[in-house]
Structure 1
Amino acid sequence: SGEEIKRIALEKLRLVDLEEDVLDLMPSELSGGMKKRVAIARAIATDPKLIIYDEPTSGLDPITSRTVDRLILQLRERTGTTAIVVTHDMMSAFTISDRLILLRKGEVVASGKPDDVINSPHPFVQEFIGDMKKLLSPQV
């Protein structure tokens, strides 16, 4: 029913830290971060066991990117949903991941816990992470 759909929509909007008034906005009226959160709310509407996020922080400023990272972590904690995140944002990857897989030309070059990956001796891993290693080391 229409009431049930609205109830679910409101519940999911609250889970992604958006207010009810978002329902009345057009997509062009939403900020980039709000659009990402609306997309996540839509993805969790059916209470999936698994969500695949494709570049969830792409195009966002650093502050909004970290907000999206926290949201992914909160949803995982609140709903028990497994998250697979495809990203080039290494800060995000190391912040939200329990396990990482780094691919190069379709081949796995490193996998494991974040600290295992960051300490991988593989030359591509070290090149890809680059200066991020200094920033990430205290976090892993």
Structure 2
Amino acid sequence: MTWKLEPSMYITAEAKARDAKLAAISARVAGLLAAGYPAGGGLHVALDDASRADMGAMATTAVAAAGGGVPWPESYQTGWIAIENVRIPLATPADGLALAASVGDYYAQIRQHGRTLKDAVLAAEDVAGIAAVDIETGWPA
């Protein structure tokens, strides 16, 4: 008779619970980021890396325009294009800065809350402690 040991035999219940909870948190973060920032009126601003880089460039231009260094470009005045392919008007540099600040804060809240939850899971001492970490509440609205 040959005994075959499976690697899963060495994984503790705590490790399995921890991995599952961490994966659920990562999935929640990914889902919220994929949905985008809720800009109102049913519109959403994309939160992927390229979109956030574009938002940062717009914010930089808005700061320069607010300070009188450059004009506020008509391309931004026309509006930020939402995920739904509808424009969000940005008539003034202040409008652009307000949108960029809101989008940035929303993104940071998602990332920070996800990290806080992961830290709580990693600090839990047993399966009950891991299960007690509430991953449903505390996310930005």
TM range (shorter): under 0.3
Q: Of the two structures, which has the highest relative contact order with CA contacts closer than 8 Å and spacing of 6 or more? A: 2
> Higher helix share goes to which structure?
2
Q: Give the alignment's TM-score, normalised by structure 2.
A: 0.22
> Higher strand share goes to which structure?
1
